[in-house]
Structure 1
Amino acid sequence: MVSSDGTQKTLLKGALLFSSVDGMVASALLVPILANIAKDFPDAGPWLNQLLSLPSLLMIPAIIITGKLADYVSKKKLLMIGTILFTAGGFGGIFANNIMDLVWTRALLGIGAGVVYPMAPAMIAYLYQGQERAQLLGWTNACGSVFSFALGIGAGYAALFHWKYAFYFYLIFVLVFLMQWAALPDFPPEKEDGKIAQAKVSGNPQEKLGYRVWLTSLDMIVYMTLSMVLLYKLSLFIVSEHLGTSADAGLATSIQTLASFLISLVFSQVLKGLKRFTAVLGLVCMASGYFFFGIAHNFSLVVVAVICLGLSLGIIFPYLMNRVSAVAPNSKKTFAISLLSMSIYVGQYLSAFFTQFADWISHGSIRGTFSFVASVLFACAMIAIVYILATQGRDRNVSMVEK
């Protein structure tokens, strides 16, 4: 637990929250200026799309490597190194004279984001427990949403003068770096921390990751695979079904982000009331969202659907992060969170193939695809209820369940 004066405690929480947004904003600044870049580099070809996809791709190995490096290097040092790489890669776009210069800077940004992504929640898991940990993990999701929204708008306005000006916003992370340096405690490497923990308990065997960490990571893969179907279908559905325009699709996405942000702010209260059944609520919200999409014949019902989906995202992400933080042993927490973080991107990758499968099941009907995904999610909710009831006794010692 953290014991410090009010100012230091606030600065510490601020440093952790601001450090958690790198992965969420990796593409937020680029999306509004992509058309401008394409205009200046007409011969970019397939490299233009790589500007968006390459950072996510490189985050996966960076997350895995960082999870193992935490055995030998302190989390504070890893977090600060990742922030330096992320800031250099983002700001470096200002000096790009051709598309390949931008590709290399985006690659550096992706590696930095991959180093940072598991470190902030890992430090939260070490420093806080119970409701305070759940609250902070919920706030990280909210903070990422606000940063993505604000920086995306800022980049769009900056591009009215020149698209390179948008990259100046990455200098914000210099302040984040200074907050990390000033406020974060310097943990020992996890291998050393594990030896200390073992020394306190005579005969304690080498700690294992545990099946619940692997199961939670599998849950994240399944959830991301199902939730990302909307990304491929939302705009096409709204326009092809004459429910609105592309601008309305953008509005729907913003409403979803707002719903996710709001529920993230009160996530700890939701977890306190529902405990492990919080996951069931998240699945039911997502299933309801897809169900409403399947029957939507006006934009009002689309709004209801995206609100349900936003609530689900704002519940499931902090829930699974909090869950893995609670069940992983101290000497394996960072690797466990890295494994869960990697699962997010594995699920995103698999979602493209699952979407094709759902289209085949529904014979190409978008409404049919939404209804099929809804039925799968309702089935997942039923499985989750059965599993929770069957394992409740074994999880009584997990702090997140009891507090």
Structure 2
Amino acid sequence: MSESKREGTVLLKTTLLLSSVNGMVASALMVPLLADIAKSYPDAGPWLNQLLSLPSLLMIPAILITGKLADYISKKTLLLVGTLLFIIGGFGGIFATGVMDLVWTRALLGIGCGIVYPLAPAMIAYLYDGQERAQLMGWTNSCGGAVSFVLGIAAGYAALVDWKYAFYYYLLFVIVLIMQWFLLPDFLPEKKDPAITQAKLQTGATEKLGYRVWLTSLDMLIFMTVSMFIIFKLALFIVNEHIGTSADAGMASSINTLASFAVSMVFAQIWNKLKRFTVVVGLVCMSVCYFLFSIAHSYGMMMAAVIFLGFSMGLMFPYLMNRVSIVAPNSQKTFAISLLSMAIYLGQFFTGFYTQFVDWLTNGSIRSGFMFVAGNMAAFALIALVYVIFTRNREGESQTTIAG
């Protein structure tokens, strides 16, 4: 490969990776500012919480609509529009004179995030395959975690001067927008792609999503619903059990991000060795995480649990994204990835109800709740193991696919 071609490939991959971080950055840049915003707008009331939840809520329909629009509009065009809305919605917060101004800008940001979120992995699915695709799917998770971690810290320091200064960081995505414009190829709308049309003519059939796409999306929905229980309980558990302080809860969150980052970086190598059994390992790690939380009485034990949490997240996200990109037909890849992306945010929404159910079942005991979730995850791991074993001959190890 020539030097110029190698540089072009690196720049293309860098653009795709940076295009995948919007959803994580949106939350990371807002969380450190909430206390200062509450002081500036003491009458904000419930709207303060909407600054975090509203973008995620609006991402769900935006993701689904984007999956269908890709049939008729180029993915590159959609990505550019989504990134532009994200920048305008994010940076627009600097002009806010009241909490409702922030709510409207966050709503615009959420729509932009929803448009962008499924497109970067969809482009990866169309441009790459095999080990290279798996590697990039893992790196998207790592890149999102790294960028949001750095910008989250930067936002906290900016807020020490003036919380509105943190919104200037959204202008960094102007660079990403320029890279998208010049470096990404022009994808034809999927219903106008001659390669896809020719494939349909040869088979004489209309390509359908297939049950494996729906099942993989259901996997993600269930995984997110159950695994995110820790988000509601971690800080409360650490303080109430006298294991540490709220600062230690923040450190635990950072360690989780670091562990997830590390595993995602080497996901392709893990996937190459374990093939479809990667899903079983990811679920087992989550089960071990919650079991360790249920018996933890020391800071060290808690950190071990958090590391297993990061391992599981670092495996499951790229794993399921890679899975759906493999089993979806070419004419439906973007919509399939949109379904999976939507399942992530629906799962986060359903976690609140699942948490209430677990609290009712365990009479509010956090340790018993952790043990219950550990049992759930162990059962899911067993189901996944049985499914993989019984479908190995049908799907073939040569496909290097995952359970679903």
Give the TM-score range, shorter chain: over 0.9
What letter corresponds to residue 337 of structure 1 in structure 2? Answer: I
Once residues 157 and 251 of structure 2 are traced to their aligned partners in structure 1, the CA distance between those partners, rounded to angstroms, is 18
- Deviation of 1:364 after TM superposition, in Å, equals 1.4
Shift of residue 198, structure 1, vs aligned partner = 4.0
Range 25-34 or range 317-326, more displaced:
25-34
Q: Report the Cα distance in structure 1 between the residues aligned to 2:42 and 2:251, rounded to whole angstroms.
A: 30
For residue 398 of structure 1, report the CA deviation from its aligned partner: 6.6
TM-score (norm. length: structure 1): 0.97
Q: For residues 6-38 of structure 1, what are the alpha-carbon distances to aligned partners after superposition, in whole Å with 9 as ceiling and x for unaligned?
A: 111011000000000001111111110111111
Find the aligned partners of 1:41 and 1:166 in 2 and give their Cα distance.
17
Contact 1:221 1:344 in 2 (8 A): yes
Q: Which residue of 2 aligns with 1:236?
A: 236
Match of 2:195 in 1: 196
The aligned amino acid for 2:381 is A
CA distance in 2, matches of 1:128, 1:56: 29
Distance in 1, Cα, partners of 2:394 & 2:124: 24
Deviation digits for residues 224-245 of structure 1 (CA, Å, limit 9, x no counterpart): 0111100000000010011111
Give 3-state SS (helix, strand or coil) of 1:394's partner: helix
Q: Normalized against structure 2, the TM-score is what?
A: 0.97
Partner in structure 2 of residue 147 of structure 1: 147
> Which residue does the alignment assign to 2:52?
52
* Change in 2 beyond 3 A, CA 1:134/1:119: same
Structure 2: how far apart are the matches of 1:401 and 1:323? 6
The amino acid that maps onto 1:336 is A
- How far does residue 313 in structure 1 lie from its aligned partner after superposition? 0.2
Q: Report the equivalent of 1:330.
A: 330
One-letter identity of the residue aligned with 2:45: G
> Structure 2 stretches of 5 or more lacking a match?
none
Which 4+ residue blocks in structure 1 deviate beyond 6 angstroms?
A: none
Structure-1 separation of matches of 2:176 and 2:391: 41
How far is 1:391 from its partner?
1.0
Distance, in Å, in 2 between the alignment partners of 1:179 and 1:204 is 39
Contact 2:73-2:189 at 8 Å conserved across structures: yes
- Cα 1:241–1:206 change in 2 (3 A) is same
AA at the equivalent of 1:196: A
* 1:203, distance to aligned residue in structure 2 (A): 4.3
8 Å contact from structure 1 (residues 70, 190) kept in 2: yes
Structure 2 contact 94–164 (Cα < 8 Å) conserved: yes
Structure 1 letter corresponding to 2:195: I
- Following superposition, the deviation at residue 336 of structure 1 comes to 0.1
Query: How many residue pairs end up in the alignment?
Result: 399
3-state SS of 1:141 partner: helix
Q: Which residue matches 2:134?
A: 134
* Structure-2 change in CA distance of 1:222 and 1:4 (3 Å): farther
- 1:84-99 pair list within 5 angstroms: 84-99=84-99
Q: Which residues in structure 2 correspond to 1:288-303 (within 5 Å)?
A: 288-303=288-303
Question: Separation in 1 of the partners of 2:192 and 2:388?
Answer: 34
Question: Structure 1: any 5+ residue segments left out of the alignment?
Answer: none
Alpha-carbon shift at residue 360 of structure 1 (Å): 1.7
Q: Provide the C-alpha distance between the structure 2 equivalents of 1:287 and 1:346, rounded to a whole number of angstroms.
A: 22
In the alignment, the residues of structure 2 paired with residue 191 and residue 399 of structure 1 have an alpha-carbon distance, to the nearest angstrom, of 26
Distance 2:377 2:96 in 1: 44
Matched residues in 1 for 2:6 and 2:94: separation?
39
Give the aligned partner of residue 283 of structure 1: 283
In the aligned structure 2, how far is the partner of 1:264 from the partner of 1:49? 30
Q: What SS does the aligned partner of 2:173 have?
A: helix
Residue 64 (structure 1) shift:
0.6
**Equivalent residue, structure 2, for 1:168:** 168
Contact 2:91 / 2:170 at 8 angstroms: preserved in 1? Answer: yes
Contact in 2 for aligned 1:225/1:350 (Cα 8 Å): yes
Q: CA RMSD of the aligned region, Å?
A: 1.4
- Deviation readout 1:308-358 (Å, 9 max, x if unpaired): 000000000000000000000000000000000000011111111111111
Match for 1:295: what amino acid? I
| Secondary structure in structure 1 of the residue aligned to 2:202 | coil
2: CA distance, partners of 1:89 / 1:109: 4
**2:217 aligned with 1:217, yes or no?**
yes
State the match for 1:124 in structure 2: 124
Deviation at 1:103, TM superposition (A): 0.6
Hey, what does 2:159 align to over in structure 1? 159
Provide the rounded CA distance (Å) in 1 between the counterparts of 2:314 and 2:170: 25
Shift of residue 199 of structure 1? Answer: 2.2
How far apart, CA to CA, are the structure 2 residues paired with 1:183 and 1:398? 32
Q: Secondary structure at the match of 2:401?
A: helix
- Counterpart of 1:320 in structure 2 is 320
Partners in 1 of 2:76 and 2:313 — Cα distance?
28
